[in-house]
Amino acid sequence: MKKKQKHEEHENSERWLLTYADLITLLLGLFVVLYSTAQQDTEKFRKAMKAMVKVLNPQEKDDKPGNSKEFAVLLGEGEGKEEKICKDEALEKLKEEIEKDEKNGHGLSASLSEEGLVINLQEKLLFDSGKTDFKEGAIEVLDRVCKYLAKVDNKIKVSGHTDNVPISNYLYPSNWHLSLGRAVKTSEYLIRKKNMDSRKFMIAAYADTMPVDTNATESGREKNRRVEIIVLREKFSPLKKAESGKDLKQEKTASKEKNEKHGA
């Protein structure tokens, strides 16, 4: 009888794909960690770690890493997208409230932009030409605006704008100085007089670089001379607020102990 010929065992030439796939998975986990730590956001870091564990140790066979809901959050989709929509709805409602308020006459308007809700206050409501002192009636306008700002817990940006007519005096050598002075004056009132948290605020000065209308006509220049109070889409983090307050308290305590020691 003829002996059966043994078939030659062929070496699997695609085994390297397994090693390559493991390497890619590990690199993916590494980049997720690097991304989350670079953002220095505790909530995102927690979600990143959860997503990484899910990828490296899948509990369900049908669970594909590429469709992971946790990664969708990190990319601004999924739960993150829903949160953004909620914020947009809150700003939209506030915009509608401002527009319906009959007390807000000509010169105060609200609109939505990529940054957030823009409350536009024309110069004539707050300041006399070329000055940063509040004119009569300005406080009443800012008090109404403050009531709107109190309804949301978002960060706030106050920016000053001018027309392109040059200004040069010992107080304000340029429109940059004038626009900055008006932004500072407005912010100081909201912080010092209305007790708003200063850590929410940021100030910007644009002079005549961001007009909303033409500077060729008086009506256009009038619209360009303004202060914008922008309710940003970014929330003011209570966690960061608490940590900042704790650090400030510790700093004051340390300074007091140091002074007492030197005094002794």
186 class by beta-carbon count within 10 Å (0-12 exposed, 13-18 middle, 19+ buried): buried
- Tokens, residue 72: 């969708």
Instruction: Give me the pLDDT at residue 256, please.
Output: 62
* Dihedral of alpha carbons 26, 30, 31, 33, sign: positive
8 Å CB contact between 91 and 233? yes
Match 């040059």 to its residue by tokens.
166
Tell me what percent of the residues of the chain surpass a pLDDT of 90.
Answer: 47
Q: What is the mean pLDDT of residues 93-105?
A: 85
pLDDT beyond 90 at 85:
no
Each residue's pLDDT tens digit, 232-242: 998 877 555 44
8 Å CB contact between 35 and 75? no
Instruction: Give me the pLDDT at residue 77, please.
Output: 45
- Average pLDDT of the chain is 78
The count of other CB atoms within 10 Å of the CB of residue 142 is 22
Integer CA distances (angstroms), 53 to 30, 46, 47, 56, in order? 11, 11, 10, 5
Each residue's pLDDT tens digit, 192-232: 999 999 999 999 999 999 999 999 999 999 999 999 999 99
Each residue's pLDDT tens digit, 40-64: 556 666 666 666 666 555 554 444 4
pTM of the model: 0.60
Torsion of CA 182, 185, 191, 197, to 10 degrees: 40
Q: Which of 87-96, 117-126, 160-169 has the lowest mean pLDDT?
A: 87-96
Element spanning 118, H or E: strand 116-122
Q: Where are the domains of the chain?
A: 18-64, 83-239
Q: What is the mean pLDDT of residues 9-24?
A: 73
Architecture of domain 83-239 in this structure: 2-Layer Sandwich (3.30)
Instruction: Give me the pLDDT at residue 224, please.
Output: 96
SS3 132: coil
- Tokens, residue 2: 């003829």
The count of other CB atoms within 10 Å of the CB of residue 240 is 13
SS3 160: strand
